Amino acid sequence: MGKTIRRLGGRNAPLAWLRGVWMELAGEGLARHARPRKLEAGVLEILVGTGARVADIEPLAGLLRERINAAWGRPLVSDIRFSAEKIAAASHAADPDYLPWIRQPGKERTK
């Protein structure tokens, strides 16, 4: 997919691609608390929900960089920086347990 996006071009294409595959590359747990904010000159800024999480996530920078570059098909990210800031809650699309149209046992509707 990275090769196709590269051919289509566009200045924001790499960041758009990265946001689209973030859950797969970062893993569900990390993706719920951190997301790509911007990508400029090979430096990826990842927005993290709290400062405490930054300390937990920083050691994963090398692994994330390797996964991103491998999926892209060539070097895209040379450095990763983290910034702590309140981020909006993850969308329900990222939550596999969110099934509002299905009644789940023990979660009956109250009137």
Q: Is the pTM of this model over 0.75?
A: no
Domains of the chain by residue range: 2-88
The CATH-assigned architecture of domain 2-88 is: 2-Layer Sandwich (3.30)
Q: DSSP labels for 1-48? A: -HHHHHHH--TTHHHHHHHHHHHHHH-HHHHTTEEEEEEETTEEEEEE
Output the pLDDT for position 41.
94
Per-residue pLDDT of the chain (111 residues; tens, 9 = 90+): 455 555 556 678 899 999 999 999 999 888 888 999 999 999 999 999 876 678 888 999 999 999 999 999 999 999 999 988 765 555 545 555 545 545 545 555 554
